[in-house]
Amino acid sequence: MNKASLIEKIAAKTDVSKKQAEDMLDTMVDTIIEELKAGREVTITGFGTFLARTRHARGGVNPQKPSERIQIPAVTVAKFKTGKTLKDALKASGEETPESSNDLETPSSSEESEPSEE
């Protein structure tokens, strides 16, 4: 789902215009960004918590020159912790379709790929 389809769903479910739904979504995103930049958490009960965390500076390896060591600077990153309602909803949807993990690999497709090793 992208922003446009999310706006359409919000507009349909709340009986407002798409422009009003877009304004609501933009305001929510802007508010979350402002709060994170100020170092505060944003909690939407049941959905989750947005947090700003600092990833410490560390050493690394230059991918273009593997023999060269580089210093990776500290950076502030956004994190999201899922809330209980969201966790439970995802867990329940996973339990409803236990055979879905088998859809990715069938015995015939795995047998066909084995002989290609030489």
Contacts of 16 (CB under 8 A, 6+ apart): 10, 24
The two tokens of residue 45 are: 């009960």
Question: pLDDT 10s per residue in the chain (118 long)?
Answer: 999 999 999 999 999 999 999 999 999 999 999 999 999 999 999 999 999 999 999 999 999 999 999 999 999 999 999 999 999 999 998 776 555 444 444 444 444 444 444 3
Q: Given this model, what pLDDT does residue 95 score? A: 75
The two tokens of residue 94 are: 């996973």
With 0-12 / 13-18 / 19 or more C-beta atoms within 10 angstroms meaning exposed / middle / buried, residue 1 is: exposed
What's the CA gap between 81 and 92, in Å, rounded? 18
Residues 95, 83 contacting (CB under 8 angstroms): no
The two tokens of residue 89 are: 């909803």
25 residue type, one letter = L
Q: What are the structural domains, with CATH classification, of the chain?
A: 3-95 (4.10.520.10)
Q: Is the pTM of this model over 0.75?
A: no
